[in-house]
Amino acid sequence: MAERKILFGKYEMGRLLGKGTFAKVYYGKQMVSGDSVAIKVISKDRVKKEGMIEQIQREISVMRLVRHPNVVELKEVMATKTKIFFIMEYVKGGELFAKVATGKLKEDVSRKYFQQLISAVDFCHSRGVSHRDLKPENLLLDENGDLKISDFGLSSLPEQLRNDGLLHTRCGTPAYVAPEVLRKKGYDGAKADIWSCGVILYVLLAGFLPFQDENLMSMYRKVCKAEYEFPPWFSTESRRLVSKLLVADAEKRITIPAITRVPWFRKGFVRPDAVFSAAEEEVELVKLETLQKASSTPAFFNAFEFISSMSSGFDLSSLFENKRKTGEIFTSRCSATAIVAKIEAVAKGLSFKVSKVKDFKVRLQGRQDGRKGRLSVTAEVFEVAPEVAVVELSKSSGDTLEYAKFCEEDVRPALKDIVWTWQGDNACNCDGNANNGTL
C-alpha cells in the first residue's frame, strides 16, 4: 500500500492532475474538513533560475485580490526551503476548452458562460487587475457547470503601468490577443481583456477561432484589422455584440458597463450570490498583511512571506509592500494576547511609553531623546497557523544604531522565554527542534 503523503500536517496529496513547464498540480484533501483542493507545486530553484520570482509574486498578490465566485480561489500559500505550494480551490469539471473542442455550444449555454466570464473580469478590473491571457484553456468548470477563471501568471497590477498609464509587455496567446498588444505603443490591459472575451464568445458560438491562418504573421494581420466572418447560425443579436467586442480600435471597443446593458447579455443573467468585497477583507493592492480574520484575532501573516524571509536568497518582501523595510522578526508558539502582554511588560521595564495602535499592534517610545530624537518602535503580531505567530519589530523613528542596540541587547534577552526562533536563527527555544522552514 502506497504511503500517504501529508503536507504541513494539513493536506493529503493525491494523484497528479497536470503538469506545466514550471509546476505540477496534484489533487489534495484538507485533512480536518475532508474538502478537496488542488495543490500546485513549484520548485524554488526553477523559479530563481528562470527569473520568475516577480511573476510568482504577482500571481499570489492578484489571486488574493480577486476573490470572486467565478475565479478559482487561492486558499493558502506555503513553502519549504525548496518548494512553493499553492493550495487552491479544486475545480473538477475540467477546462471549457474540452467542451468547445467537440464543436460549438448552444447559444443559451454560450451566453451563460459569457455572462459569468464578464462578471468575473469586471470584478478583476475593479481591483486594478488585468488577466492578459483569457482563453478557454484558462476557464474551468465546477461540478455545477459554473465557470472559474484560472491562471493569473501573466496578469498585471497598477504598479506595472508606465508613465503613460499603459502596459507595454507583449504577452498572451496569439489567437486571443488584442491588436493593440501586438503593436509596440502600449495598451490598456482592461480593454485588451475585453477583446479576448470577444474571441472567447465567438469560439463558444462558432466552435472555431475567428482569426485563423497557418502563417502567424498573416493571422496577426487579420487580428490587427479585425478581419473575420460570421457563420450563418449566429443570431442577429449575438453578431451585433461580437461586432462591438472585436473592434480593432480599443477606444471604440464596447465597455463592460455597456455589455451588461445589451439585451442579449441580460437574458437570464443572474449576478453572483456573493462577491468578496474590499470592505469585508480590507484587502489593499499588494499588501496582503492587511487581511483581517476578526478583531479578536491577529492579522494573517502569509506563510509565504514568513518562510521566504527566513530563507536567504529568495526575498519576496516586495510582494507585501513595495518599499517595506523588514525589521526584527521572531516566531512564537504563545498566543497573540500573551505575546503583546510580554512585549508591553518588557517595554515598561525599559521605561518606554506603550500605546496601542490597533489590536495586536503596539508602539513603544523611549522617554529620552537620542541622536535623532526619541526612539519609537512598532511591534505587531501576525498569525501564521493556529499554533504559530510571527512578531515583527520595526523602527518608526529615531536612530538606527540605537534601534539595533535596543533589539539585540534589551529585547532579545528579555523575550527569550516566548521566542521559538529569531529570523535567520536555526535553534528553536521552545521544544529543541530546529526550524526547517515548514510550519
The Cα 151–Cα 100 span in angstroms is 19
Q: Are 373 and 403 in contact (CB under 8 A)?
A: no
DSSP letter at 250?
Answer: G
By DSSP bridging, strand 299-300 and strand 373-385 are parallel
C-alpha cell at 402: 540605537
Q: Are 420 and 428 in contact (CB under 8 A)?
A: yes
Question: Which residues lie below 8 Å from residue 122, measured CB to CB, with a gap of 6+?
Answer: 256, 260
Selected catalytic residue, list 122, 133, 151, 188: 133
Q: Are 134 and 196 in contact (CB under 8 A)?
A: yes
The Cα 388–Cα 303 span in angstroms is 10
Question: Which residues lie below 8 Å from residue 3, measured CB to CB, with a gap of 6+?
Answer: none
Q: Are 293 and 384 in contact (CB under 8 A)?
A: no
Amino acid at 165: G
Asked if residue 49 belongs to a known ligand binding site, the reply is: yes
Does the active-site annotation cover 108? no
Per the annotation, binding residues are: 49
User: Where in the sequence numbering do the catalytic residues fall?
Assistant: 133
